[in-house]
Structure 1
Amino acid sequence: MSEDSPTPSVRERNERLMRLATYASVGVALALIVTKFVAWVATDSISLLSTLIDSLLDMAASLLNLLAVRHALQPADEEHRFGHGKAESLSGLAQAAFICGSALFLFVEASSRLYHPAAIVNTTVGYVVMVFSILTTLVLVWFQRHVVRRTGSLAISADSTHYQMDILINFSVIVSLALSQNLGWVYADPVFAIGISAYIIYGAYQIGYEALHVLMDRELPDDARARIREIVLGHPGVSDMHDLRTRKSGPDVFIQMHIEMDGKMSLRRAHDISEDVMRRVATAFPNAEVLIHEDPEGIDEERPSFAVN
């Protein structure tokens, strides 16, 4: 059995990016809370209140993310041999719960405003704050998506989903303000807020769904598994492979497999081939820990019924 781990330089760069992303998220959330609170007080818009509530929940979720990422990046220890990466997924589930709670509160407030509509005032303040929010959030989302591409972090991806929704929400608030001011549609404000609450719940479902699958050790996507098979079977010393098993935990990926080789080769040669295969897979998946079991070619093993070749 062989194993490998990502090079320290790659891991350190990824960890630094993840920490920077959590700090940026908290900073942006705090700035948006202050500006949206001022705008809500000035306009009395329920749609603006909806974005303020969403930013408050984003702040709580971002703080939770910061703590979860710090914990997930702790190295493996004697009690947690596979590391602490699943703290990210637990954070994702908590974020989903936070978001659902805010959406339900918003739905109740918007429904009440449907029965008691009120005119929106000082819409210019609302426009300025929404444009500021959109531009600030776009920059944050761009950085978060860069970090997710580099690290595959579920926690950062979930946080980015919040803010991508915020961009659409802020656009909808601008539309509702325009309809209320220019056409006198007093019901536009609460109707848009109800629509926003439904969209927030949908985003929470997506985050919770992904986090739950990671906690349940779902296999890597089919294209990633196909890439692993291509690398392994591309080695001239490997005749076949079976029992490929994969899972993800935070920034780390775990890959296990059996490879078949000529049964007449020496143990040293079989070991060297396994090490080479392991290095090739780890190069393609930098955050992966690769475990390989060597089998002589043609051996008739009794394999689990769920095993995938």
Structure 2
Amino acid sequence: MSGVGKDAGSDSGTMMTKTVKLAWGSVAVGLIVLAIKTLAWSMTGSVALLSDALESIVNVATAVAALLAVRWAARPADDDHPFGHHKAEYFSAVLEGVLIVIAAILILREAYAGFLDPQPLGQVWSGLGVNLSASVLNGVWCWVLLRQGRALRSPALVADGHHLLSDVISSVGVTLGVVAAILTGWFWLDPALAAIVAVNILWSGWKVIRSSVGGLMDESVPESDLAVMRELISANADGAVEAHDLRARHAGSATFVEFHLVVPGEMTVDEAHGICDRLELALQEEIHGATVTIHVEPDHKAKHTGIVVL
């Protein structure tokens, strides 16, 4: 017995609409930041600021990838994809992780060239001021993406937020490197800080890829989430004997929950169905986007090791 309530479906559609709007916002912010950082680099000639601009190109590419993914994930289930298209977001997140790694490699290449031939910098303070405005914009949008992405259960938006966070961190490092190079006259500090930032970006890319692959491999939800589900089932299964074999996984903004419900052998189908409806409603109210599948069994199938009904 399974189902998704009408209210849950409506909430899911609203969440997906917000996700698409945020993805469009990421593309717009990415283009603005790229233009600002390119201007800052042209003003100073700094290798570190060039690396910052290179990363922004990847930001735009990943924002576009996230937009395409969330739009695809928003499509309803069909005959070929009866469980929906939610996992499309994980592909985007993996791509973002790969692009983050590529950005780091490009930055290391520019840093190496800077080490070989350090150059004095141009309009440093003006350029840093311009670059700082881009960092502030990125920081604000990063906070929006991480907060809303987690609330909307969107792996693509969360990955994009982490990517922007790495960009903000790298921008801070770049700024410190450029300032130190000017104050000390050690212009090799410019590419040195760019190289350190690149290593940090590599680590960020690996974390994004790791979390996304877990979703593609149907990794179980965290134990804390399973504990909440057990409590809900125990408190709302009055009339049943026990529940066991609880399994749950995330697929983008959706959560699939499955378990076996043991009921007295003499209970009618209508009574068992009523318990299932009550359980589905309780789980869907607590877990947005939940799709619940319940396998009803007679009492001689009890394992006495599952969820005890309160």
Fold conserved between structures, TM > 0.5: yes
Which letter maps to 1:208? Answer: I
What is the RMSD of the two structures over their aligned residues, measured on CA atoms? 1.6
Matches of 2:14 and 2:301, distance apart in 1: 43
The Cα of 1:77 is off from its aligned counterpart by 0.4
Corresponding residue for residue 278 of structure 1: 280
Gap runs ≥5 in structure 1: 302-306
The Cα of 1:239 is off from its aligned counterpart by 2.6
Matches of 1:126 and 1:182, distance apart in 2: 15
Q: Is the 8 A contact 1:111 1:190 kept in 2?
A: yes
Corresponding residue for residue 304 of structure 1: none
Which letter maps to 1:260? Answer: V
Deviations 1:162-201 (A, max 9, x none): 1111111111111111101111121211111111111111
Which letter maps to 1:265? Answer: M
Matches of 1:29 and 1:274, distance apart in 2: 46
Identity over aligned pairs, percent: 27
Which letter maps to 1:274? Answer: C
Corresponding residue for residue 180 of structure 1: 181
Matches of 2:119 and 2:285, distance apart in 1: 61
Deviations 1:49-71 (A, max 9, x none): 11101000010110111111100
Corresponding residue for residue 30 of structure 1: 31
Which letter maps to 1:177? Answer: V
Matches of 2:115 and 2:87, distance apart in 1: 42
Q: How does 1:1-309 map to 2 (within 5 A)?
A: 1-5=1-5, 7-235=8-236, 236-299=238-301
Q: Is the 8 A contact 1:3 1:292 kept in 2?
A: no
Q: TM (normalized to structure 1)?
A: 0.94
Residue-pair matches, total: 304
Which range moved further: 199-208 or 108-117? 108-117
Q: TM (normalized to structure 2)?
A: 0.94
The Cα of 1:127 is off from its aligned counterpart by 1.6
The Cα of 1:146 is off from its aligned counterpart by 2.9
Matches of 1:24 and 1:272, distance apart in 2: 44
Matches of 1:114 and 1:167, distance apart in 2: 23
Matches of 1:113 and 1:298, distance apart in 2: 74
Which letter maps to 1:176? Answer: G
Gap runs ≥5 in structure 2: none
User: Once superposed, which parts of structure 1, at least 4 consecutive aligned residues long, lie more than 3 Å away?
Assistant: none
Q: Is the 8 A contact 2:46 2:121 kept in 1?
A: yes
Matches of 1:162 and 1:241, distance apart in 2: 41
The Cα of 1:116 is off from its aligned counterpart by 1.4
Matches of 1:110 and 1:247, distance apart in 2: 42
Matches of 1:127 and 1:44, distance apart in 2: 11
The Cα of 1:126 is off from its aligned counterpart by 2.3
The Cα of 1:21 is off from its aligned counterpart by 1.0
Which letter maps to 2:120? Answer: A
Which letter maps to 1:200? Answer: I
The Cα of 1:37 is off from its aligned counterpart by 0.9
